[in-house]
Amino acid sequence: MDSGILTRPATGSAGIARGERVKPYRTPAQKANVRNLIFLAVIVMVVCACYLLVNAYPDKPQLFRYVLSLRIPTLAVMLIAAFAIGGASIIFQSIINNRIVTPCLLGMNSMYTLVHTAVVFVVGSGSIVATNSNVSFAVDLVVMGIAATFVYSYLFRKTGNNVLYVLLIGTVLSSFFGSIQSTMIRVMDPNEYDTLLTTLVADFNNVNSEVILFSLLLIAALVIFLRKELQLLDVITLGKDQAVNLGVDYDRTVRRLMLGVVLCIAVATAMVGPISFLGLIIANLARQLLRTHKHSHLILGAALMGMLAIIAGQLISQHVFSYAVPISTFITIGGGIYFLYLLLFKKGGI
């Protein structure tokens, strides 16, 4: 066996000819993945077009313009939410090294529910905090962002970066928030409760364009802020020992990524309501379609799956059930069935 290249004097490692990049090696499976991603992107575009144009009265220009002015913001909200939730779920699963977890387990949904209930409970459903969607978005985002950042950074430090502990505490916090919320509901005026209930269900309509722009900027900022950590995700997947062996500052990377996950979920939830359960479905669909560890592919795949699921769900909710059944019903039912399928038939494998 010729071992000349493998053996190198201890001082020689700096002397490699650098710079000559080669075309990345792609396995047959990876080539198929690129094809699948393109195919998925085309489907998403078709569904987007359907969403904008179905029953849009293209023969009546004024009506057509009005319909579009309503649908384009909703479409933007769906796309942003899908990207935030899909990306956050994939990252979260890769950190925990388990594909049946979702960022839901951190208790962000119950936190959102609690914040909304508390607002209505304290200042009433007629107050500007509850009625103006800009203000209520700001309140949600600030409260959830700060609370989550503080709680989870603290938990990470306290538990010595033990992700499973944080997950366990998140589950406990989730019931804790839930109990406080149900206590408030019990003593609440029934009319107030009625108004409250509509905001506790995920909804893609009636989001202000300021909110959309702000969310978009925030998510873009997060991606830029975490660009280095995102590139390390593939290595993080190998587990702590291997990541450290390969020279990655594991604890810091995971802490920053978790912060990104929490903030992404906060943005998406503040924008449309408690919907992060969707992440479980779309992340797994992406992993099933793209049998790879490459996170650039997985995140894109999950985002596209999310867009497909949400927009298709919205189409059905809008045109088949004429808004009688909210989209979150589909998500919860579909997600529940898919979750059972994963547990029963996939045995946690991929």
Partner 1 sequence: MKITNLKKKYDGKTVVDSVSFTIPRGKVLSLIGPNGAGKSTVMGMISRLIARDAGDIHFEDKDLSHWNSKELAKKLAILTQHNNVQMKLTVRELVAFGRFPYSGSRLTAEDVRMIDKAIAYMELQEFEDRFIDELSGGQRQRAYIAMVIAQDTEYVLLDEPTNNLDIYHASNMMRTVRRLCDELGKTVILVLHEINYAAFYSDYICAFVDGKIAKFEKVEDVINKETLSEIYKVDFEIIHINGKPLSVYY
Beta carbon of residue 288, minimum distance to partner 1 (angstroms, whole number): 10
Between 133-158 and 108-123, two packed helices, what is the crossing angle to 10 degrees? Answer: 130
- Which residues have a Cβ under 8 Å from the Cβ of 348 and sit 6 or more positions away? 98, 99, 100, 342
The answer to whether residue 105 forms part of the interface with partner 1 (CB under 8 A) is no
92-to-26, 204, 265 alpha-carbon distances in Å: 26, 24, 11
Give the nearer residue to partner 1 in terms of CB position, either 28 or 190: 28
- Of residues 168 through 207, those in contact with partner 1 by CB under 8 A are none
The identity of residue 50, as a single letter, is: C
Asked if 195 and 120 touch (Cβ cutoff 8 Å), the reply is yes
Alpha-carbon dihedral sign for residues 15, 17, 23, 28: negative
The answer to whether residue 69 forms part of the interface with partner 1 (CB under 8 A) is no
The answer to whether residue 162 forms part of the interface with partner 1 (CB under 8 A) is no
User: How many residues belong to the chain?
Assistant: 350
Stretch that binds partner 1, among 7-15, 72-80, 148-156, 207-215 (CB under 8 A): 7-15
Exactly one of 146, 220, 246, 340 binds partner 1 (CB under 8 A); which one? 246
Give the nearer residue to partner 1 in terms of CB position, either 99 or 256: 99
- Of residues 113 through 142, those in contact with partner 1 by CB under 8 A are none
Asked if 212 and 250 touch (Cβ cutoff 8 Å), the reply is no
The answer to whether residue 164 forms part of the interface with partner 1 (CB under 8 A) is no
Q: Residue 237's Cα: distance from chain center in Å?
A: 18
The answer to whether residue 347 forms part of the interface with partner 1 (CB under 8 A) is no
The answer to whether residue 6 forms part of the interface with partner 1 (CB under 8 A) is yes
Query: CA 88 to CA 123: how far, in whole Å?
Result: 33
- Of residues 8 through 47, those in contact with partner 1 by CB under 8 A are 8, 10, 13, 16-22, 24-25, 27-29
List residues near partner 1 by CB under 8 A: 1, 3, 5-8, 10, 13, 16-22, 24-25, 27-29, 94, 97-99, 231, 234-235, 237-242, 244-249, 287, 291-293, 349-350
